[in-house]
Structure 1
Amino acid sequence: MHRRAYLAAVGTAASTGLAGCSSALSVLEDDPCTGDDCHIGMNRTEFLPAEYEVSVGDTVIWKNTSEADHTVTAYEALIPDDAEYFASGGYESQAAAYDAWDDRGGRLGTRETFEHTFEIPGTYEYFCIPHEGAEMTGEIVVSE
């Protein structure tokens, strides 16, 4: 009888201790890029943060902070007219990025990064090719 009481107490203590850990992990998932190594992280189906503001000439670094493969792919029609197109893998158009994904081109594996420098003010919308259906999208707002 004492053994059951002991096991019940240990189980309750372990559950309580792990509850605190899961809270800490969820905080990290909300903001996976707190250091200098990245500005925008990626969980399973989200860019974190989904909206990011920078100034002209700033470089943004995305980092795959999840176990899934991702891309960073600009919506060609949703960036400023004179802006340089950007996509992980260095593709020059949205169509080229889509075509390359068939062979896993532009893929960012776990902990891999992609960076782009924004030279034209405006709003830039982008997405992750394999998770576009899950609405994994983001927005960069560039001001002067």
Structure 2
Amino acid sequence: MHRRRYLAAVGTAVSVGLAGCSSALSVLEDDPCSGEDCHIGMSRTEFRPVSYEASVGDTVVWKNTSEADHTVTAYENLIPDAAEYFASGGYESQEAAYDAWNDEEWEERGGRLGTRDTYEHTFEVAGTYEYFCIPHEGAEMVGEVVVTE
């Protein structure tokens, strides 16, 4: 008789535990930005969504939705030829963005987006724009914005 009570209690505990895990998992799979305050969120090592579609003239907002520091840094050779370069911190080139992040004299890393910080850029030229996060480039934290007419 005790065995049946024990198994019932264990079964109930496992069911409750798994229900909590599955709801937490579904939250993790959701896009962290609703579009009201941002379009692209940043998890620990991922832009969410990885690919975002916009139209010419749209302003796209990235938001650091994680506890890690991030950057939004365009790959200079992977944006349309006539497009303006973009990087959090306002740098004019990929090299300048790298240099600012790695500058040991700065108390804060150049281009750093802390938790809940945002960065925005207006896209004026159609095409595909590939970008990355400097501190998480090795973890392949990359994304793209596809801009159409």
Task: Report TM bin, short chain.
Answer: 0.7 to 0.9
**Aligned residue type for 1:98:** Y
Whole-Å Cα distance in 2 between the matches of residues 7 and 64 of structure 1?
A: 46
Q: How does 1:80-91 map to 2 (within 5 A)?
A: 80-91=80-91
1:122 counterpart = 2:127 = yes
CA shift, 1:25, in A, is 2.7
Whole-Å Cα distance in 2 between the matches of residues 15 and 133 of structure 1?
A: 38
Whole-Å Cα distance in 1 between the matches of residues 130 and 92 of structure 2?
A: 16
RMSD: 2.1
**Structure 2 segments unaligned to the other structure (5+ residues):** 103-107
User: Sequence identity, in percent?
Assistant: 69
Which position in structure 1 is the counterpart of 2:53?
53
Whole-Å Cα distance in 2 between the matches of residues 7 and 112 of structure 1?
A: 49
**Structure 1 segments unaligned to the other structure (5+ residues):** none
* 1:57-114 deviation per Cα after TM superposition (whole angstroms, max 9, x unaligned): 0111111111111100000110011111111111111111101112511111111111
C-alpha spacing 1:34/1:28, structure 2 compared with 1 (3 Å): farther
* 1:41-72 deviation per Cα after TM superposition (whole angstroms, max 9, x unaligned): 11111111100111000111111111111100
Which position in structure 1 is the counterpart of 2:76?
76
Whole-Å Cα distance in 2 between the matches of residues 42 and 136 of structure 1?
A: 9
Which position in structure 2 is the counterpart of 1:17?
16
1:133 counterpart = 2:138 = yes
Whole-Å Cα distance in 2 between the matches of residues 133 and 64 of structure 1?
A: 18
Which position in structure 1 is the counterpart of 2:105?
none
Whole-Å Cα distance in 2 between the matches of residues 68 and 8 of structure 1?
A: 42
C-alpha spacing 1:57/1:132, structure 2 compared with 1 (3 Å): same
**Aligned residue type for 2:91:** Y
Which position in structure 1 is the counterpart of 2:64?
64
Which position in structure 1 is the counterpart of 2:100?
100
Whole-Å Cα distance in 1 between the matches of residues 115 and 14 of structure 2?
A: 29
